[in-house]
Amino acid sequence: MHIAELNAVTGDDLGSDLPRPDFYIASMGRTGSTMIANWLTLPPEQIVLIEPFLFALKNPTMLRTQLENLGLGATDAEWGFADTTWRGRFRRLLAPRLAGRRWALKEVLAAEHRPVLEYFAPPCVVVTVRDMRDIAASFMEKHRIQDNLHRFDDTWVLSYCLREAQEIVELCEFLSSRGTRWRVVRYEDFIRSDADRASLAEFVGWPGGGEVGRHLTQLGRGFETERHGNAINAASRRWEERTLHPLERAFAERIAAECTTYQTFFGY
């Protein structure tokens, strides 16, 4: 939803009385953003919400799962109440649960990034990225493991990667133009470098060290925990280890080749 559409629905801004996030994680899918969000989460004091879709009148079930796992569960009546604005829903459902805590959020769709910046005004932004070849291959592998190609086929992967790659570069340029504090976290560096993780912790002002496999089984991603364990694993899945047909690997290569601006911008 665009800012103008949100304004038309909600009128004024979020309100100074509501809890503001310490930071925002703007991501593309399969860049390790859930791992990073979980690493930064140390409940009950510090919580990163994973893809909560705060501007929806009905948040995804995965948000309810997270709240329950974090000891902040909502009753059926609370969850099912028919709010008329996203702001009213946030005020009723989430603000009381986040009050007195340090919190942040992450999203993987460009359509969410600008509204979060506009309405929640996080003081700093973390942008997570990864080599586009591995993003595409990881998506394709994930959708096959989950038997989810009827929803997310390889054409979807192509469309998502091309669109979001352009948008995330433009977002970085936008953040620079308005003087917002931001930094990039490259998946490859985060999993291998203690110094990179320490630098991220210093940037956001949270210590890190949380349980990186949190929520994954309930979110249908238990295979990731089986593969990597419940700690940061520096042995990223190698290209030749992926369970993809040679034609599928070639398709991932093609996607990366069409994202040269992204690849160059982030040093790939």
Is residue 30 predicted with pLDDT exceeding 50?
yes
Average model confidence (pLDDT) for the chain? 90
pLDDT for residue 148: 80
State both tokens at 205.
């002002």
Confidence of residue 5 (pLDDT cuts 50, 70, 90): very low
CA–CA distance, 173 with 72 (Å, rounded to integer): 36
Is residue 9 predicted with pLDDT exceeding 60?
no
Which one has a higher pLDDT value, 184 or 147?
184
User: Residue 226: inside a domain, yes or no?
Assistant: no
What pTM, to 2 d.p., does this model score? 0.91
CA–CA distance, 16 with 87 (Å, rounded to integer): 12
**Residue 135 domain boundaries:** 3-10+27-206+237-265
User: Residue 22: inside a domain, yes or no?
Assistant: no
User: Residue 257: inside a domain, yes or no?
Assistant: yes
pLDDT for residue 218: 72
In this prediction, residues 244-263 reach a mean pLDDT of 94
User: Residue 172: inside a domain, yes or no?
Assistant: yes
User: Residue 69: inside a domain, yes or no?
Assistant: yes
Q: In degrees rounded to 5, what are phi and psi of residue 27? A: -135, 165
CB atoms inside a 10 Å sphere around CB 266: 19
CA–CA distance, 129 with 28 (Å, rounded to integer): 7
User: Residue 224: inside a domain, yes or no?
Assistant: no
pLDDT for residue 1: 44
User: Residue 35: inside a domain, yes or no?
Assistant: yes
177-205 tens-digit pLDDT: 999 999 999 999 999 999 999 999 999 99
Please list, in sequence order, all residues whose beta carbon lies within 8 angstroms of the beta carbon of residue 184, skipping any fewer than 6 positions away. 127, 128, 129, 172, 266
Q: What is the CATH number of the domain that holds 46?
A: 3.40.50
User: Residue 218: inside a domain, yes or no?
Assistant: no
Which one has a higher pLDDT value, 6 or 142?
142
Which one, of 149, 159, 130, 111, lies nearest residue 258 by Cα? 159
Q: Name the percent of the chain lying above pLDDT 70.
A: 87
| Residue in the structure block whose two tokens are 């946030």 | 90
Total domains in the chain come to 1
Q: How close are the terminal C-alpha atoms of the chain, in Å? A: 31
